[in-house]
Amino acid sequence: MEKECIFCDIAHGKAPCDLLFENERIVVFKDIKPHCPTHLLIVPKKHIRSVNDLAEEDSGLLAELFYVAKEMAEKVGVDKKGYKLLFNVEKGGGQVIFHLHLHLLAK
Ligand code: 5GP
Ligand code: ZN
């Protein structure tokens, strides 16, 4: 857990969020400032700064992020209509929270 990381705090229950899913490795919660009617964040509990910092050993975790995203899309009922999955990478890619997270966006 990283000091002064809001997503570490949320993932470890030390800051509030609108939590939709949790297992040992991943949490899913609603984005505080949604860009779309459905805007979820799929977040590993492990602190990884960005996609640039993924290690080979994280490949299982990364696959699980996508699997959980697909399950969440079904759960909130946007799977058939369709949705976007997005990683912003570093400042130039629009990343503002430097703890890896996958956006699930649906209109
Ligand atoms: P990024 O631009 O880093 O890919 O996305 C960060 C996202 O996290 C933004 O959409 C922003 O609204 C959301 N966010 C920032 N702080 C918080 C927070 O404290 N709680 C929640 N639920 N979302 C947050
Ligand atoms: Zn963190």
Which of 4, 36, 41, 86 has most ligand 1 atoms within 8 Å of CB, for mutation? 41
Q: Tally the domains of the chain.
A: 1
Residue 28 lies in a domain: yes
With a 6 Å cutoff on the Cβ, whether 33 touches ligand 1 is yes
Q: Which ligand is nearest to the CA of 90?
A: 1
Ligand 1 nearest atom to the CA of residue 98, by list position = 3
Domain for residue 15, yes or no? yes
What CATH number is associated with residue 48?
A: 3.30.428.10
SS3 state at 13? coil
CA angle 57, 104, 106 (to 5 degrees): 160
Please state, in angstroms and rounded to a whole number, the distance separating the CA atoms of residues 106 and 7.
Answer: 22
Q: Smallest Cα–Cα separation from 97: which of 62, 55, 47? A: 47
> Which amino acid appears at position 69 of this protein?
A
- pLDDT band, residue 2 (cuts 50/70/90): confident
Domain that holds residue 35: 6-106
For residue 1, name the pLDDT band (cuts at 50, 70, 90). confident
Percent residues over pLDDT 70 in the chain: 100
The number of C-alpha atoms within 13 Å of 40 and in the hemisphere containing its C-beta is: 29
Reported in sequence order, the residue ranges of 23-64 that DSSP labels E, i.e. its strands, are: 26-30, 38-44
Within a domain: residue 1?
A: no
79-97 tens-digit pLDDT: 999 999 999 999 999 999 9
Model confidence at 3: pLDDT above 90: no
Pocket test for ligand 1, best of 32, 40, 85, 100 (most atoms within 8 A of CB): 32
Average pLDDT, the chain: 97
| Residue 25 maps to a domain | yes
Give the separation between CA 89 and CA 71, rounded to whole angstroms.
24
Q: Is the pLDDT confidence value at 35 over 90?
A: yes
Q: What is the mean pLDDT of residues 92-107?
A: 98
The ligand minimizing its distance to the Cα of 5 is 2
